[in-house]
Structure 1
Protein backbone atom coordinates (compact mmCIF):
# COMPACT_ATOMS: atom_id res chain seq x y z
CA UNK A 1 0.00 0.00 0.00
CA UNK A 2 1.20 3.57 -0.59
CA UNK A 3 3.01 5.03 2.41
CA UNK A 4 2.61 8.74 3.09
CA UNK A 5 5.88 8.93 5.01
CA UNK A 6 7.76 7.02 2.33
CA UNK A 7 6.48 9.50 -0.27
CA UNK A 8 7.53 12.48 1.86
CA UNK A 9 10.97 10.97 2.45
CA UNK A 10 11.43 10.25 -1.25
CA UNK A 11 10.52 13.79 -2.33
CA UNK A 12 12.85 15.30 0.25
CA UNK A 13 15.61 12.90 -0.76
CA UNK A 14 15.19 13.73 -4.45
CA UNK A 15 15.53 17.44 -3.74
CA UNK A 16 18.63 16.91 -1.60
CA UNK A 17 20.29 14.68 -4.20
CA UNK A 18 19.49 17.11 -7.00
CA UNK A 19 20.69 20.13 -5.03
CA UNK A 20 17.31 21.73 -5.72
CA UNK A 21 15.61 24.36 -3.61
CA UNK A 22 12.11 23.12 -2.73
CA UNK A 23 10.92 26.70 -2.43
CA UNK A 24 11.25 27.03 -6.21
CA UNK A 25 8.77 24.23 -6.78
CA UNK A 26 6.70 23.84 -3.74
CA UNK A 27 5.38 20.31 -3.18
CA UNK A 28 2.69 18.31 -1.56
CA UNK A 29 1.97 18.87 2.10
CA UNK A 30 4.76 18.53 4.60
CA UNK A 31 7.41 17.70 2.00
CA UNK A 32 7.47 21.15 0.38
CA UNK A 33 4.19 22.94 1.04
CA UNK A 34 5.71 24.65 4.06
CA UNK A 35 8.01 26.59 1.74
CA UNK A 36 5.12 28.27 -0.05
CA UNK A 37 3.19 31.41 0.81
CA UNK A 38 -0.47 31.28 1.75
CA UNK A 39 -1.63 33.96 -0.70
CA UNK A 40 -3.01 32.94 -4.09
CA UNK A 41 0.13 33.85 -6.06
CA UNK A 42 2.38 32.00 -3.62
CA UNK A 43 0.53 28.71 -3.49
CA UNK A 44 1.73 25.56 -5.20
CA UNK A 45 -0.20 24.40 -8.27
CA UNK A 46 -1.03 20.69 -8.12
CA UNK A 47 -2.38 18.84 -11.13
CA UNK A 48 -2.93 15.42 -12.63
CA UNK A 49 -3.41 13.85 -16.05
CA UNK A 50 -5.89 11.23 -14.86
CA UNK A 51 -8.90 13.47 -15.50
CA UNK A 52 -7.72 13.94 -19.09
CA UNK A 53 -6.85 10.38 -20.08
CA UNK A 54 -7.95 8.08 -17.28
CA UNK A 55 -5.96 5.30 -15.62
CA UNK A 56 -2.81 4.37 -17.51
CA UNK A 57 -1.23 2.16 -14.83
CA UNK A 58 2.42 1.71 -15.80
CA UNK A 59 2.35 4.56 -18.32
CA UNK A 60 0.83 7.16 -15.99
CA UNK A 61 4.21 8.47 -14.87
CA UNK A 62 5.29 9.07 -18.46
CA UNK A 63 2.06 10.92 -19.22
CA UNK A 64 2.60 13.12 -16.16
CA UNK A 65 6.15 13.85 -17.27
CA UNK A 66 4.98 14.88 -20.74
CA UNK A 67 2.35 17.22 -19.28
CA UNK A 68 4.90 18.78 -16.91
CA UNK A 69 7.51 19.29 -19.64
CA UNK A 70 4.97 20.95 -21.93
CA UNK A 71 3.94 23.28 -19.10
CA UNK A 72 7.58 24.20 -18.49
CA UNK A 73 8.21 24.80 -22.18
CA UNK A 74 5.16 27.00 -22.71
CA UNK A 75 5.29 28.80 -19.36
CA UNK A 76 1.65 27.87 -18.88
CA UNK A 77 0.31 25.61 -16.14
CA UNK A 78 -2.13 23.18 -17.72
CA UNK A 79 -5.50 22.91 -15.97
CA UNK A 80 -7.29 19.97 -14.42
CA UNK A 81 -10.59 19.36 -16.16
CA UNK A 82 -13.85 18.79 -14.28
CA UNK A 83 -12.41 19.80 -10.91
CA UNK A 84 -15.07 21.26 -8.63
CA UNK A 85 -14.41 20.56 -4.97
CA UNK A 86 -11.35 19.09 -3.31
CA UNK A 87 -11.38 16.17 -0.90
CA UNK A 88 -12.24 17.66 2.54
CA UNK A 89 -9.45 15.54 4.04
CA UNK A 90 -6.90 17.63 2.10
CA UNK A 91 -5.87 20.83 3.87
CA UNK A 92 -5.50 23.01 0.76
CA UNK A 93 -4.97 26.21 2.75
CA UNK A 94 -2.69 24.71 5.38
CA UNK A 95 -0.54 22.99 2.76
CA UNK A 96 -0.51 26.08 0.54
CA UNK A 97 -1.69 24.24 -2.56
CA UNK A 98 -4.27 24.93 -5.25
CA UNK A 99 -5.66 23.08 -8.26
CA UNK A 100 -5.59 25.00 -11.57
CA UNK A 101 -8.91 24.89 -13.40
CA UNK A 102 -7.88 26.99 -16.41
CA UNK A 103 -4.60 27.57 -18.30
CA UNK A 104 -2.52 29.74 -16.00
CA UNK A 105 0.59 31.79 -16.79
CA UNK A 106 3.61 30.60 -14.84
CA UNK A 107 3.30 32.61 -11.59
CA UNK A 108 6.97 33.55 -11.17
CA UNK A 109 9.80 34.80 -13.35
CA UNK A 110 13.08 32.93 -13.53
CA UNK A 111 13.58 29.20 -13.34
CA UNK A 112 10.48 27.06 -13.88
CA UNK A 113 10.51 23.83 -11.90
CA UNK A 114 8.03 20.96 -11.69
CA UNK A 115 7.86 17.73 -9.72
CA UNK A 116 6.22 14.55 -10.95
CA UNK A 117 5.07 11.89 -8.49
CA UNK A 118 4.60 8.23 -9.33
CA UNK A 119 3.04 6.42 -6.37
CA UNK A 120 1.29 3.16 -7.13
CA UNK A 121 -0.59 0.53 -5.18
CA UNK A 122 1.87 -2.05 -6.43
CA UNK A 123 4.69 -0.41 -4.48
CA UNK A 124 5.96 2.08 -7.06
CA UNK A 125 7.50 5.09 -5.36
CA UNK A 126 9.11 7.52 -7.80
CA UNK A 127 9.74 11.25 -7.97
CA UNK A 128 11.22 13.36 -10.78
CA UNK A 129 12.29 17.02 -10.63
CA UNK A 130 12.36 18.86 -13.97
CA UNK A 131 13.69 22.37 -14.70
CA UNK A 132 12.99 24.32 -17.88
CA UNK A 133 15.87 24.29 -20.34
CA UNK A 134 15.86 28.04 -21.07
CA UNK A 135 16.69 29.13 -17.53
CA UNK A 136 18.79 26.08 -16.64
CA UNK A 137 21.13 26.68 -19.57
CA UNK A 138 21.35 30.43 -18.87
CA UNK A 139 22.03 30.04 -15.16
CA UNK A 140 24.77 27.47 -15.78
CA UNK A 141 26.47 29.27 -18.65
CA UNK A 142 25.54 26.53 -21.12
CA UNK A 143 24.23 26.56 -24.67
CA UNK A 144 21.88 24.09 -26.27
CA UNK A 145 18.83 23.69 -28.46
CA UNK A 146 15.52 23.67 -26.64
CA UNK A 147 11.81 24.37 -27.04
CA UNK A 148 11.24 26.63 -24.05
CA UNK A 149 9.43 29.89 -24.64
CA UNK A 150 11.26 32.88 -23.13
CA UNK A 151 9.72 34.49 -20.04
CA UNK A 152 6.60 36.60 -20.70
CA UNK A 153 7.11 40.28 -21.40
CA UNK A 154 5.02 42.96 -19.69
CA UNK A 155 3.13 40.28 -17.81
CA UNK A 156 1.68 38.78 -20.99
CA UNK A 157 2.42 35.45 -22.62
CA UNK A 158 3.64 36.26 -26.10
CA UNK A 159 2.39 33.39 -28.18
CA UNK A 160 4.22 34.72 -31.19
CA UNK A 161 7.59 34.14 -29.55
CA UNK A 162 8.97 30.88 -30.85
CA UNK A 163 11.37 28.61 -28.97
CA UNK A 164 15.11 29.11 -29.12
CA UNK A 165 16.29 27.02 -32.01
CA UNK A 166 19.20 26.62 -34.36
CA UNK A 167 19.86 29.50 -36.76
CA UNK A 168 18.01 29.72 -40.07
CA UNK A 169 21.20 28.99 -42.00
CA UNK A 170 22.00 25.94 -39.91
CA UNK A 171 18.42 24.74 -40.30
CA UNK A 172 18.60 25.02 -44.09
CA UNK A 173 21.90 23.15 -44.20
CA UNK A 174 20.73 20.32 -41.98
CA UNK A 175 18.74 17.41 -43.43
CA UNK A 176 15.43 16.67 -41.76
CA UNK A 177 14.73 12.98 -41.27
CA UNK A 178 11.22 11.58 -41.04
CA UNK A 179 11.53 8.15 -39.47
CA UNK A 180 8.64 5.84 -40.30
CA UNK A 181 8.28 2.37 -38.86
CA UNK A 182 5.73 -0.41 -39.14
CA UNK A 183 5.47 -4.21 -39.13
CA UNK A 184 4.81 -4.37 -42.86
CA UNK A 185 6.25 -2.58 -45.89
CA UNK A 186 2.79 -1.60 -47.12
CA UNK A 187 2.03 0.11 -43.83
CA UNK A 188 5.22 2.17 -44.06
CA UNK A 189 4.39 3.18 -47.64
CA UNK A 190 0.86 4.18 -46.60
CA UNK A 191 2.23 6.27 -43.74
CA UNK A 192 4.70 7.98 -46.06
CA UNK A 193 1.91 8.73 -48.54
CA UNK A 194 -0.33 10.18 -45.84
CA UNK A 195 2.49 12.32 -44.50
CA UNK A 196 3.42 13.66 -47.93
CA UNK A 197 -0.20 14.58 -48.59
CA UNK A 198 -0.43 16.32 -45.23
CA UNK A 199 2.68 18.43 -45.87
CA UNK A 200 1.11 20.13 -48.90
CA UNK A 201 -2.26 20.92 -47.33
CA UNK A 202 -2.99 24.67 -47.39
CA UNK A 203 -3.86 24.55 -43.69
CA UNK A 204 -0.46 23.07 -42.82
CA UNK A 205 1.43 25.56 -44.96
CA UNK A 206 -0.56 28.46 -43.48
CA UNK A 207 0.42 27.44 -39.96
CA UNK A 208 4.09 27.83 -40.81
CA UNK A 209 4.82 24.83 -38.60
CA UNK A 210 8.55 24.00 -38.65
CA UNK A 211 9.28 20.72 -40.40
CA UNK A 212 11.88 19.85 -37.78
CA UNK A 213 9.16 19.92 -35.12
CA UNK A 214 7.04 17.54 -37.15
CA UNK A 215 10.04 15.29 -37.79
Structure 2
Protein backbone atom coordinates (compact mmCIF):
# COMPACT_ATOMS: atom_id res chain seq x y z
CA UNK A 1 0.00 0.00 0.00
CA UNK A 2 2.82 2.41 0.91
CA UNK A 3 6.35 2.58 -0.47
CA UNK A 4 7.81 4.74 2.32
CA UNK A 5 6.40 5.40 5.80
CA UNK A 6 7.34 7.35 8.90
CA UNK A 7 6.50 5.48 12.11
CA UNK A 8 6.11 7.45 15.36
CA UNK A 9 6.58 5.42 18.55
CA UNK A 10 6.17 7.05 21.94
CA UNK A 11 8.70 6.53 24.70
CA UNK A 12 5.91 5.44 27.03
CA UNK A 13 5.11 2.58 24.63
CA UNK A 14 8.66 1.24 24.95
CA UNK A 15 8.19 1.06 28.72
CA UNK A 16 5.22 -1.30 28.05
CA UNK A 17 3.25 -0.19 31.09
CA UNK A 18 6.17 -0.14 33.50
CA UNK A 19 6.23 3.66 33.53
CA UNK A 20 10.00 4.03 33.40
CA UNK A 21 12.81 2.54 31.33
CA UNK A 22 12.69 0.08 28.44
CA UNK A 23 10.88 -3.25 28.41
CA UNK A 24 13.40 -5.57 26.73
CA UNK A 25 10.79 -8.13 25.66
CA UNK A 26 8.44 -5.52 24.17
CA UNK A 27 11.14 -3.66 22.24
CA UNK A 28 12.14 -6.91 20.53
CA UNK A 29 8.49 -7.50 19.60
CA UNK A 30 8.38 -4.04 18.02
CA UNK A 31 11.65 -4.76 16.17
CA UNK A 32 10.15 -8.00 14.81
CA UNK A 33 7.10 -6.09 13.51
CA UNK A 34 9.33 -3.49 11.88
CA UNK A 35 11.33 -6.30 10.26
CA UNK A 36 8.08 -7.79 8.90
CA UNK A 37 7.15 -4.43 7.34
CA UNK A 38 10.66 -4.13 5.89
CA UNK A 39 10.29 -7.61 4.35
CA UNK A 40 7.28 -6.32 2.38
CA UNK A 41 9.63 -3.90 0.59
CA UNK A 42 8.52 -0.82 2.51
CA UNK A 43 11.11 1.83 3.39
CA UNK A 44 10.84 2.82 7.06
CA UNK A 45 11.82 5.92 8.98
CA UNK A 46 11.13 5.95 12.73
CA UNK A 47 10.81 8.75 15.26
CA UNK A 48 10.92 7.71 18.92
CA UNK A 49 9.80 9.72 21.91
CA UNK A 50 11.55 9.89 25.28
CA UNK A 51 8.69 9.99 27.77
CA UNK A 52 9.75 6.75 29.44
CA UNK A 53 12.80 8.58 30.79
CA UNK A 54 12.08 12.32 30.78
CA UNK A 55 9.62 14.78 29.27
CA UNK A 56 10.20 18.52 29.22
CA UNK A 57 6.57 19.23 30.15
CA UNK A 58 6.22 16.48 32.76
CA UNK A 59 5.66 17.03 36.48
CA UNK A 60 9.28 16.06 37.19
CA UNK A 61 10.43 19.09 35.16
CA UNK A 62 8.06 21.59 36.78
CA UNK A 63 10.81 23.63 38.49
CA UNK A 64 13.27 23.41 35.60
CA UNK A 65 14.00 25.88 32.85
CA UNK A 66 11.95 24.71 29.83
CA UNK A 67 14.92 24.76 27.45
CA UNK A 68 17.07 22.64 29.80
CA UNK A 69 14.18 20.23 30.39
CA UNK A 70 13.53 19.85 26.66
CA UNK A 71 17.20 19.14 26.02
CA UNK A 72 17.06 16.36 28.61
CA UNK A 73 13.99 14.99 26.83
CA UNK A 74 15.87 15.00 23.52
CA UNK A 75 18.69 12.99 25.06
CA UNK A 76 16.11 10.48 26.31
CA UNK A 77 15.00 9.86 22.73
CA UNK A 78 18.59 9.02 21.79
CA UNK A 79 18.69 6.31 24.48
CA UNK A 80 15.49 4.79 23.07
CA UNK A 81 16.75 5.07 19.49
CA UNK A 82 19.97 3.19 20.30
CA UNK A 83 18.01 0.46 22.12
CA UNK A 84 15.63 0.04 19.17
CA UNK A 85 18.54 0.04 16.71
CA UNK A 86 20.19 -2.77 18.65
CA UNK A 87 16.97 -4.84 18.64
CA UNK A 88 16.53 -4.32 14.89
CA UNK A 89 20.15 -5.18 14.07
CA UNK A 90 19.87 -8.40 16.06
CA UNK A 91 17.38 -9.49 13.38
CA UNK A 92 20.04 -9.04 10.69
CA UNK A 93 18.78 -5.74 9.28
CA UNK A 94 20.78 -2.58 8.65
CA UNK A 95 19.71 0.33 10.81
CA UNK A 96 21.03 3.86 11.33
CA UNK A 97 20.36 6.32 14.14
CA UNK A 98 20.45 9.96 13.03
CA UNK A 99 20.42 12.61 15.73
CA UNK A 100 19.32 16.23 15.39
CA UNK A 101 21.89 17.00 18.12
CA UNK A 102 25.40 16.07 17.03
CA UNK A 103 26.96 13.24 19.03
CA UNK A 104 29.28 11.53 16.57
CA UNK A 105 30.33 8.70 18.87
CA UNK A 106 26.82 7.24 19.15
CA UNK A 107 24.82 8.48 16.14
CA UNK A 108 25.10 10.08 12.74
CA UNK A 109 24.16 13.76 12.48
CA UNK A 110 20.80 14.27 10.79
CA UNK A 111 21.40 15.25 7.16
CA UNK A 112 18.31 14.96 4.98
CA UNK A 113 20.06 13.78 1.83
CA UNK A 114 22.02 11.14 3.76
CA UNK A 115 18.79 9.93 5.39
CA UNK A 116 17.14 9.62 1.98
CA UNK A 117 20.13 7.64 0.71
CA UNK A 118 19.94 5.23 3.66
CA UNK A 119 16.27 4.60 2.90
CA UNK A 120 17.00 4.04 -0.79
CA UNK A 121 19.57 1.42 0.25
CA UNK A 122 16.86 -0.36 2.30
CA UNK A 123 18.30 0.68 5.64
CA UNK A 124 15.92 1.49 8.48
CA UNK A 125 16.50 5.00 9.80
CA UNK A 126 15.69 6.09 13.37
CA UNK A 127 15.47 9.85 13.87
CA UNK A 128 16.48 10.87 17.41
CA UNK A 129 16.64 14.09 19.45
CA UNK A 130 13.38 15.45 18.05
CA UNK A 131 13.89 18.51 15.86
CA UNK A 132 16.97 19.55 17.86
CA UNK A 133 15.07 22.57 19.19
CA UNK A 134 13.29 23.13 22.51
CA UNK A 135 9.53 23.78 22.61
CA UNK A 136 8.93 21.28 19.80
CA UNK A 137 7.56 17.83 20.63
CA UNK A 138 8.55 14.52 19.03
CA UNK A 139 5.11 14.56 17.36
CA UNK A 140 6.18 17.72 15.55
CA UNK A 141 9.52 16.06 14.75
CA UNK A 142 7.66 13.08 13.27
CA UNK A 143 5.52 15.36 11.09
CA UNK A 144 8.59 17.27 9.94
CA UNK A 145 10.68 14.17 9.16
CA UNK A 146 7.75 12.54 7.32
CA UNK A 147 7.62 15.49 4.95
CA UNK A 148 11.38 15.81 4.62
CA UNK A 149 11.85 12.17 3.56
CA UNK A 150 8.71 12.36 1.36
CA UNK A 151 6.90 9.60 3.23
CA UNK A 152 3.57 8.40 1.82
CA UNK A 153 1.97 8.45 5.27
CA UNK A 154 2.71 9.17 8.93
CA UNK A 155 1.91 6.21 11.19
CA UNK A 156 1.27 7.06 14.83
CA UNK A 157 1.34 3.97 17.04
CA UNK A 158 -0.50 4.56 20.33
CA UNK A 159 -2.03 2.65 23.24
CA UNK A 160 -5.59 2.96 21.82
CA UNK A 161 -7.01 1.72 18.53
CA UNK A 162 -7.71 5.10 16.95
CA UNK A 163 -9.05 8.60 17.57
CA UNK A 164 -12.06 8.97 19.87
CA UNK A 165 -14.33 11.86 20.87
CA UNK A 166 -12.89 11.46 24.39
CA UNK A 167 -10.41 9.22 26.19
CA UNK A 168 -11.96 5.72 25.87
CA UNK A 169 -10.05 4.60 28.96
CA UNK A 170 -11.99 7.16 31.02
CA UNK A 171 -15.23 7.79 29.11
CA UNK A 172 -17.30 4.72 28.13
CA UNK A 173 -19.46 6.85 25.81
CA UNK A 174 -16.50 7.89 23.63
CA UNK A 175 -17.01 7.07 19.95
CA UNK A 176 -14.31 6.30 17.43
CA UNK A 177 -13.59 8.20 14.22
CA UNK A 178 -12.79 5.95 11.25
CA UNK A 179 -11.76 9.06 9.33
CA UNK A 180 -11.35 12.70 10.33
CA UNK A 181 -9.68 15.85 9.01
CA UNK A 182 -6.94 17.82 10.73
CA UNK A 183 -9.20 20.87 10.88
CA UNK A 184 -11.84 18.84 12.74
CA UNK A 185 -9.19 17.60 15.17
CA UNK A 186 -8.24 21.19 15.95
CA UNK A 187 -11.86 22.32 16.21
CA UNK A 188 -12.80 19.47 18.57
CA UNK A 189 -9.54 19.91 20.52
CA UNK A 190 -8.67 16.22 20.23
CA UNK A 191 -5.33 15.75 21.94
CA UNK A 192 -3.91 13.05 19.70
CA UNK A 193 -0.95 15.21 18.70
CA UNK A 194 0.04 18.75 19.63
CA UNK A 195 -1.43 21.53 17.52
CA UNK A 196 1.91 22.38 15.87
CA UNK A 197 2.22 18.86 14.47
CA UNK A 198 -1.43 18.79 13.37
CA UNK A 199 -1.15 22.15 11.58
CA UNK A 200 2.09 21.09 9.89
CA UNK A 201 0.50 17.90 8.51
CA UNK A 202 -2.66 19.74 7.43
CA UNK A 203 -0.80 22.52 5.63
CA UNK A 204 1.41 20.04 3.76
CA UNK A 205 -1.27 17.45 2.98
CA UNK A 206 0.41 14.62 4.92
CA UNK A 207 -2.05 11.81 5.76
CA UNK A 208 -1.76 10.12 9.16
CA UNK A 209 -2.99 6.80 10.51
CA UNK A 210 -3.50 6.47 14.27
CA UNK A 211 -3.68 2.87 15.48
CA UNK A 212 -2.92 0.63 18.43
CA UNK A 213 0.47 -1.02 18.72
CA UNK A 214 -0.69 -3.30 21.52
CA UNK A 215 -2.09 -5.82 19.05
CA UNK A 216 0.70 -7.80 17.34
CA UNK A 217 0.91 -7.37 13.58
CA UNK A 218 -0.91 -4.04 13.40
CA UNK A 219 1.96 -2.19 11.74
CA UNK A 220 2.01 -4.74 8.91
CA UNK A 221 -1.78 -4.53 8.61
CA UNK A 222 -1.68 -0.74 8.26
CA UNK A 223 1.09 -0.82 5.65
CA UNK A 224 -0.82 -3.53 3.76
CA UNK A 225 -3.86 -1.27 3.53
CA UNK A 226 -6.19 -2.91 6.06
CA UNK A 227 -8.77 -0.54 7.54
CA UNK A 228 -7.75 -0.37 11.18
CA UNK A 229 -7.31 2.66 13.39
CA UNK A 230 -8.30 6.19 12.32
CA UNK A 231 -7.21 7.91 9.11
CA UNK A 232 -6.54 11.66 9.30
CA UNK A 233 -6.46 13.70 6.10
CA UNK A 234 -6.07 17.33 5.15
Q: TM-score, normalised by structure 1?
A: 0.25
TM-score (normalised: structure 2): 0.24
Select the structure with the greater relative contact order (CA < 8 A; seq sep ≥ 6).
Answer: 2
Q: Considering only CA atoms, is the larger Rg found in Structure 1 or Structure 2?
A: 1
Structure with the larger strand share: 2
